Amino acid sequence: MIYCVTLNPALDYIIELEEQLTSGHNNRIINKYIDVGGKGTHVSIALSLLGEENVCTGISGEKDYDLLSNKLNEFGVQAQFIKVADNSVRNNYIITSNTKQSSYLLTEMGITLSENLIDELFDSYLLEASHEDIIIIAGNPSNDTSIEVFKYFFEKAINTGSKIAIDLHGKYLELALNYSVYFAKPNQHEFSELVGEEIETLEDIKSSLLYMELKNIKHLCISLGKRGSVLVNKNEIYQFDGLQVNTKNDTGSGDAYFAGIIYSLVNGLDMIDAGKIATALGAAKAEEKISSGFNIKRFNNLKEKVKYRKV
């Protein structure tokens, strides 16, 4: 089973502007949408759209949970979260415009986790996780969740024996990489921070592979933003160019990409197929106005357009 864990889910309030957001201007709103927010939730939606069964779980505020759950149901995903009384699902705000520019993302803090909540999560929804399973931890806990509580969570996940796939950043990513992880997807800046030097070129990436060995990361992706991505495993590196598409909202593209890698790994596909699928999913998501999902026909069309090379 694949468990998609979101430690700080959200509702995304998407505001579509007539023009690119400009300070000092009257920025006219032409549309508004409410969608699922949070990274693990998006990975779960993408895997479900690809027909890959998974459990969408985590720890959520109780207020507005029904709205989050109903939005997930629209994609055929059943929400199975621990609900925390006297807390709300956080609201994130995304400002987009039909100008192919990247969106603006404004995120609320969310709920503070505790060891008791972590125990409740494992006892309720991760009890059966074992060495045959994958636990995806996508999205940080709220910033005011202590690193000790996150460590408590992460060690419980490791101790299930499941393969651990992470999309984390900052201190939480750093902590996670003290353990053996199955898949990690830092961006170029995060990877530079992790290896302690500026990673600019593919040569820099090649020379830093020792880091990956040392850190025992089985599969590594380094996202390079508009320049696409690099996929690395033991002794192979492939670079995949980004796709030029009619970007409506790039929020959630990284989550769709992540789901593409997981889908490929669980289906035994090689790195080339994995990179093409992930890149096409991220691009197809960017063509949607909301934060979740993608057009499956468009994804299949884009998949064959992905350019790549062995490094």
Q: CB nearer to ligand TA6: give 256 or 280.
A: 256
Q: Return the half-sphere exposure (C-beta side, CA atoms, 13 A cut-off) of residue 9.
A: 36
Nearest to 246 by CA among 124, 137, 98, 119: 98
Looking only at residues 36 through 75 of this chain, which bind ligand TA6 when binding is defined by CB under 6 A? 37-39, 42
Give the CA-trace dihedral at 182, 233, 217, 260, to 10 degrees. -40
Binding-residue pattern over the window 98 to 127 for ligand TA6, x denoting contact by CB under 6 A: -------x-x--------------------
Q: In the chain, what's the furthest Cα-to-Cα distance?
A: 55
**Residue 186 found at the interface with ligand TA6 (CB under 6 A):** no
Q: Which stretch binds ligand TA6 (CB under 6 A): 19-27, 35-43, 209-217, 256-264?
A: 35-43
Size of the site for ligand TA6 (CB under 6 A): 17
Q: CB nearer to ligand TA6: give 14 or 205.
A: 14
In sequence order, what are the residues at sequence separation of 6 or more whose Cβ sits closer than 8 angstroms to the Cβ of residue 62? Answer: 83, 84, 85, 86, 87, 88
Nearest to 287 by CA among 103, 104, 139, 21: 103
**Of these, 255, 264, 276, 277, which contacts ligand TA6 (CB under 6 A)?**
255
**Residue 162 found at the interface with ligand TA6 (CB under 6 A):** no
Residue with tokens 């023009």, as numbered in its chain: 19
Q: CB nearer to ligand TA6: give 44 or 92.
A: 92
Looking only at residues 189 through 248 of this chain, which bind ligand TA6 when binding is defined by CB under 6 A? none
Closest distance of CB 197 from ligand TA6, Å: 25
Q: Which residues of 19-50 are buried (b: 16+ CB within 10 A; e: fewer)?
A: eeeeeeeeeeeeeeebbbbbbbbbbbbbbbbb
**Residue 254 found at the interface with ligand TA6 (CB under 6 A):** yes
Instruction: Give the whole-angstrom CA distance, residue 284 versus residue 300.
Output: 9
Instruction: Give the whole-angstrom CA distance, residue 170 versus residue 186.
Output: 10
**Residue 141 found at the interface with ligand TA6 (CB under 6 A):** no
Residue with tokens 């995903």, as numbered in its chain: 77
**Of these, 5, 10, 271, 280, which contacts ligand TA6 (CB under 6 A)?**
10
Q: Which residue is nearest to ligand TA6 (CB)?
A: 37
**Residue 139 found at the interface with ligand TA6 (CB under 6 A):** yes
Q: Which residues bind ligand TA6 (CB under 6 A)?
A: 8, 10, 12, 37-39, 42, 92, 105, 107, 139-140, 251-252, 254-255, 291
